[in-house]
Amino acid sequence: MNVNRLALIFVFLLGIFIGVAGGGAAGGVAGYLVSRQTVAQVSATVTSLRTQPVAATTNSAATPAQSPAVSDAVVVSLSDAMVEAVKRVAPAVVTVTVESSTGRGSGSGVIISNDGYIITNNHVVDGGRRYFVLFADGVRRQANVVGTDALNDIAVLKVDGEVPGVAVIGDSAALQPGETVLAIGSPLGNFRNTVTAGVVSALNRSVPGSGMEGLIQTDAAINSGNSGGPLINLKGEVVGINTMVVRNELGFGSSAPVEGLGFAVPSSIFSNVADQIIRTGQVRYPFLGITYLMIDGEVAALYNLPVQNGAFINPGLGGQPAVLPNTAAAQAGLREGDIITAVNGQRLDHNTSLRQLLLQYRPGDTVELTILRDGREQNVTVTLGERPSNLR
């Protein structure tokens, strides 16, 4: 009996040992497979970059397709993907120096054409008399202002002669919160081509007091002098132009330290703006002629609205009327209290503002607005006007 009991105990303990060891081995195999899959995904991203050329060019007639390729080293990490993305766009990043009657200022910019067109911020060039750009390779060149847009804080400069690189413009509409992005620029005007990393914190942001909508929010460090520099994705594509940071002194009602609140104009906006400036020297904006609030949960609760998304037509600050007289909105019969929910069938939501949708059209275009009035949805046809130049 004693021998049999000892045998049973031995078999029982052996079974436990095999179960634990087997489970650990299975877990180890699973972890290994997951890690291999993650590495493969990052490797695939960067390998696809290596099949594409970098931004550097060797002459004014060259295109990015003629650029030298990046080395074929094996890529196994997110860090490698970031390095490759920077290599792709860095030759196209410039430092912008502005001379005015009050002194000198600086910012950043990015070359978008072999013809020498450079995007930067309007506030970088505003008030300047002479402009210079310093390329990543240290060459300094005088530049001229082609045109500016104060509404979206975009300006276009032009330099003559060869350029060291041309950036590829990406699709900001494909961005997702949590996605890794990189900011490149010249903080304080001295530290040329500084790279900072972060994530997309949010999309379609508005900054109170700025008049700007549809911004990309990021926690990548943006300091004085970074303004006008590119925000890029891991493909090395420019998806935003860095424009501002929020700090305590802007008066948001908190004395706590503020960090990681940077904002960039998305490519979905700046591409259209830059294209108009290059073609005509100015930007013509469609104009409805309303003051409105973009609706979210808080606005809906405050005004007891029946929807959580849309543009709520209501009086502006300082007694500005909800519907301006003799405008497209007035002629179409829009009223205070109407809620615009769609433009030509495209719905307004937390990622899509009214301004973003209207920027797809030109003054004189006719669009169909879907509105909610007195609890009923209806369609209204509007022929868009042109935004007056004295309005921000």
- Burial (CB count within 10 angstroms: exposed 0-12, middle 13-18, buried 19+), residue 197: middle
Q: Taking the mean position of all CA atoms in its chain, how far away is CA 99?
A: 28
Domain regions of the chain by residue span = 173-268, 286-386
Residue 84's nearest CA partner among 185, 232, 217 is 232
Encode burial over 200-215: b for 16+ CB neighbours within 10 A, e otherwise: bbebbbbbeeeebbbb
Give the separation between CA 109 and CA 225, rounded to whole angstroms.
Answer: 10
pLDDT of residue 38: 40
Query: Where does 195-307 have alpha helices with state H?
Result: 267-280, 297-303
Strand pairing report for 180-185 and 194-207: antiparallel
Cα torsion angle, 200, 220, 43, 83, sign: positive
pLDDT of residue 15: 52
* Domain 286-386, CATH among 3.90.230.10, 2.30.42.10, 3.40.50.720, 1.10.287.3510: 2.30.42.10
Per-residue pLDDT of the chain (392 residues; tens, 9 = 90+): 444 554 444 544 445 444 444 444 444 434 444 344 444 445 555 445 544 544 544 443 334 444 444 445 555 689 999 999 999 999 999 999 999 988 889 999 999 999 999 999 999 999 999 999 999 989 999 999 999 999 899 999 999 999 999 999 999 999 999 999 999 999 877 788 899 999 999 998 888 777 788 899 999 988 888 899 999 999 999 999 999 888 765 445 555 566 678 999 999 999 989 999 999 999 989 999 999 988 988 999 999 999 999 999 999 766 789 999 999 999 999 999 999 999 999 999 887 889 888 988 999 999 999 999 999 999 999 999 998 876 65
pLDDT of residue 76: 60
Q: Taking the mean position of all CA atoms in its chain, how far away is CA 97?
A: 24
Encode burial over 323-357: b for 16+ CB neighbours within 10 A, e otherwise: bbeebbbbebebeeebbbbbbeeeebeeebbbbbb
* Location of structure tokens 């209290």: 337
The number of beta carbons lying within 10 Å of the beta carbon of residue 149 is 21
Q: Known catalytic residues?
A: 123, 153, 227
In CATH, the number for domain 173-268 is 2.40.10.10
pLDDT of residue 55: 52
Assessment of whether the complete model's pTM goes beyond 0.85:
no
